[in-house]
């Protein structure tokens, strides 16, 4: 039971991490580079051995765990409410996606196609960091699949940043990573109602996992 709850907390942290990164990009034009890379890499972890491996270990969702740990029910500032709306939207859209096998298969095949080209894209990269070609491709996949479901996610932020193609692509890419985490969350038995009623337990587990990382 503990392992099951731990795994669900990790998957939930994956969703929260994507939501936090999207909010950072939309409001500041920048995002935690390491956290973003870990979230994007999770898209390639189709046949991971276990849940931590999806995120390259617990450390891979440290930002998500920190964000989740802050949702004890009392912290209702505007930023948290916006991120929470992204989390619930991703859960809702993923719930719909899992009930449309043709769209789910299309998404799976598109991601596998990018996976086969990953080494080539990386070989063309001139600078270290997130591969913008991969980001652009994943952004297109998001538009072709998740974004066709209703209601579409409306990202709130500074129009100056939301009109820049590279930032919009990164946001869509991270929303796709959030959907991947949401698929895992639902496969592990998670749901929106469960989070609402057990949010303090999930927040407490996230806090314990963060402390364990420091030991």
Three-state SS sequence of 47-62 = CCCCHHHHCCCHHHHH
Quick: pLDDT tens for 58-85: 999 999 999 999 986 666 788 999 999 9
User: What distance in Å separates the CA atoms of residue 23 and residue 82, rounded to the nearest whole number?
Assistant: 8
Structure tokens at 41: 């890499």
CATH class of segment(s) 2-122+129-214: mainly alpha
Output the CA angle 205-42-31, nearest 5 degrees: 80
* Percent of residues, the chain, with pLDDT higher than 70: 93
CB contact set of 70 (below 8 Å; sequence gap of 6+):
80, 203
DSSP string, 41-98: HGGG-TT-SSHHHHTTSGGGGHHHHHHHHT-SSS---HHHHHHHHHHHHHHHHHHHHT
Structure tokens at 89: 């939207």
* pLDDT confidence tier of residue 1, bands split at 50, 70 and 90: very low
The whole-number pLDDT of residue 74 equals: 63
3-state secondary structure of 33: helix
User: What distance in Å separates the CA atoms of residue 185 and residue 109, rounded to the nearest whole number?
Assistant: 21
User: What distance in Å separates the CA atoms of residue 108 and residue 183, rounded to the nearest whole number?
Assistant: 12
Compute the mean pLDDT over every residue in the chain, rounded to the nearest whole number: 91
Quick: pLDDT tens for 8-42: 999 999 999 999 999 999 999 999 999 999 999 99
């Amino acid at each position: 039971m503990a392992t099951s709850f731990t795994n669900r907390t990790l998957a939930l942290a994956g969703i929260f991490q994507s939501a936090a990164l999207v909010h950072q990009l939309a409001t500041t034009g920048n995002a935690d580079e390491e956290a973003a890379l870990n979230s994007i890499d999770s898209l390639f972890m189709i046949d991971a051995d276990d849940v931590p491996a999806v995120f390259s270990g617990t450390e891979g969702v440290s930002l998500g765990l920190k964000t989740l740990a802050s949702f004890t029910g009392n912290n209702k500032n505007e930023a948290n409410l916006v991120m929470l709306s992204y989390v619930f939207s991703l859960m809702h859209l993923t719930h719909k996606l899992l009930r449309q096998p043709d769209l789910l298969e299309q998404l799976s095949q598109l991601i596998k196609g990018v996976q086969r080209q990953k080494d080539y894209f990386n070989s063309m990269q001139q600078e270290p960091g997130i591969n913008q070609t991969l980001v652009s491709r994943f952004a297109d996949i998001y538009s072709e699949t998740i974004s066709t479901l209703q209601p579409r996610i409306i990202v709130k932020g500074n129009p100056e940043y939301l009109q820049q193609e590279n930032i919009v692509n990164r946001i869509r890419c991270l929303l796709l990573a959030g959907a991947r985490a949401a698929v895992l969350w639902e496969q592990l038995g998670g749901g929106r109602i469960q989070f609402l009623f057990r949010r303090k337990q999930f927040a407490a587990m996230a806090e314990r996992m963060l402390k364990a990382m420091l030991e």
